[in-house]
A = this chain, B = another copy of it.
Amino acid sequence: MVNMNEMKPIGRVKTDAKKIPRHWTLSNVEGKLIIEKEYEKGLQDIREGQRIVVIFLFHKSPSFSHQNLIQKPPHKEKQKGVFSICSPIRPNPLGMSVFEVLKVERNIIFVRGIDILDGTPILDIKPYIEAGCES
């Protein structure tokens, strides 16, 4: 049985961009996913041109409190329930983005579509699947 407390980042995001778009669907920003050497072998089937799902930690978010159950996104006029928006202030500070793979060099994945901060801890990488699993 696994324990949530045993989780640790598998790597970090590296980007020089000064302005980070608010969502990967709106981003052409490039960056690198620098994965710990111990996991490098697990990257062997990630290919240029693929899309990957990246699960990460919103490591700069303030703690969640009851009043954050409803939030007004900066680009919206109305408040919405937290589970219907992408706010980084969530009960569990988990984020998910989809990036396009530009190339993979050893333990570094070069990607396009960055919408997260430089230094963001990466927890998992998964194949992007719309229909029919490649698992």
Is the CB of A134 closer than 8 A to any CB of chain B?
Answer: yes
- Across the interface, A41 reaches (CB within 8 A) one of B2, B4, B69, B123, namely B69
Residues of B within 8 A of A38 (CB): 66
Total copies of the chain: 2
Name A's B-contacting residues (CB within 8 A).
Answer: 1-2, 4-8, 10, 22-23, 25-26, 38-39, 41-46, 52-53, 55, 57-61, 63, 66, 69-70, 73, 75-76, 80-87, 90-94, 96, 123-127, 129-135
Most buried by B among A7, A42, A43: A42
Contact A41 B55 (CB under 8 A): no
Contact A135 B42 (CB under 8 A): no
